[in-house]
Amino acid sequence: MSKYTLVIHGGAGTILKTDMTDEKELAYHKALGEALDKGAEVLIKGGSAIDAVRAATISLEDNILFNAGRGSVFGKDGRQEMDASIMDGKTKMAGAVSAVQHIRNPVELAYTIMTKSPHVMLNGKGAYDFAVLNGLKTEPDEYFFSEFRHNQWKQMQGSDEAALDHNVIIKDKKFGTVGAVALDVNGNIAAATSTGGMTNKQFGRVGDSPIIGAGTYANNKTCAISCTGHGEPFIRAVTAYDVSCLMEYKGLSLEEAMTIVVHDKLMKIDGEGGMIGVDAKGNAAMVFNSEGMYRGMRNSNGINEVRIYK
């Protein structure tokens, strides 16, 4: 049994080796490795799962390669609105933020809502004001801007479609949401997810990522899950909580439950994407039904891997 485990993702979608340059592949490997370093540092020192998922997710939000925080995708009106959530499996406390702008680290705002307010979710301007009141870092539009995401949006501007960001190489689909799940040395688990959502989304649209039970869920009794994919089917399938339910009520293992949800339940409603999960025994899994998913895992048994394709 591993004493600690950290699993991260940087989004799923039509991520093909044929579309990738060596430099780009290297940059993704480096970014995922750095996020694993940040989260593992917390766990190695005996820190909590919740602090580890925060640290790993912040590292991914700060990296312009991913669709979360800096580098978020553009909505229909050319603005970047972000969603995030976090859940502590020990206390089953949760925090979430939706459709927020200019917050440097939306996952920190979700954490602050969890720890410093009586609420679970704040949105838009109210969430922004709460962040400022609590001294969280804000940034101007330019900080979040990336040429790459802007070009993706330009390809879709004026259409009524919304797409996963890794999929906007014209017609294919990709999601660049980020997330982390962890087990700490005290046997507690936690999950976090952060995203800019889908390219060309209707302003005000909220995906699965900030919805507890859909994009994120954690319960020491069962599992900690962070999802990435086409948000609408993930919301309708109550995806993350469904994995927990299959474990709790049917006695399935983490991997069995994740496989049923991703390859059966989601597939039946065109829910493209995937998820990462851990349980309190140190089992971990990364399951997806798309071409690829940026992902990585590190644990106290010496596993240290970063992968992109199937």
Q: 102: buried, middle or exposed (CB in 10 Å: 19+, 13-18, 0-12)?
A: middle
Tell me how far, at minimum, the Cβ of 151 lies from ligand ASP, in Å.
17
Q: At 214, is the secondary structure helix, strand, or coil?
A: coil
> From the CB of 68, what's the least distance to ligand ASP, in Å?
8
Q: Considering the candidates 112, 177, 195, 222, report the single residue annotated as catalytic.
A: 177
Burial class (CB in 10 A: 0-12, 13-18, 19+), 123: middle
Residues near ligand ASP (CB under 6 A) are 11, 67, 164, 175-177, 195, 197-198, 207-209, 228-231, 273
Residue closer to ligand ASP (CB basis): 131 or 276: 276
Q: CA dihedral in degrees (5, 266, 251, 186; nearest 10)?
A: 20
The strand pairing partners of 284, in sequence order, are 278
Nearer to ligand ASP, 176 or 296 (CB): 176
With respect to ligand ASP, which residue has the nearer C-beta, 106 or 197?
A: 197
Active site residue 138: no
Instruction: Look up residue 264 and give its two tokens.
Output: 């059966």
How many whole angstroms from its chain centre is CA 49? 15
Give the shortest CB-208-to-ligand ASP separation in angstroms.
5
CA–CA dist 185, 282 (Å, integer) = 10
Indicate the helix (H) or strand (E) that contains 109.
helix 106-116
Nearest distance in Å: CB 165, ligand ASP: 6
Q: Please return the burial class of 172, using the count of CB atoms within 10 Å of its CB with bins 0-12, 13-18 and 19+.
A: middle
Q: What's the CA gap between 165 and 264, in Å, rounded?
A: 24
> Per residue in 218-257, is it b (16+ CB within 10 Å) or e — as a string?
bbbebbbbbbbbbbbbbbebbbbbbbbbbbeeeebebbeb
State which residue, 47 or 233, has the beta carbon closest to ligand ASP: 233
As measured in angstroms, the least distance from the Cβ of 259 to ligand ASP is 19
Nearer to ligand ASP, 177 or 219 (CB): 177
Nearest approach, Cβ of residue 73 and ligand ASP (Å) = 8
Q: Which is nearer to ligand ASP, 39 or 231 (CB)?
A: 231
β-pairing verdict for 94-100 and 216-218: unpaired
Catalytic annotation, residues: 177
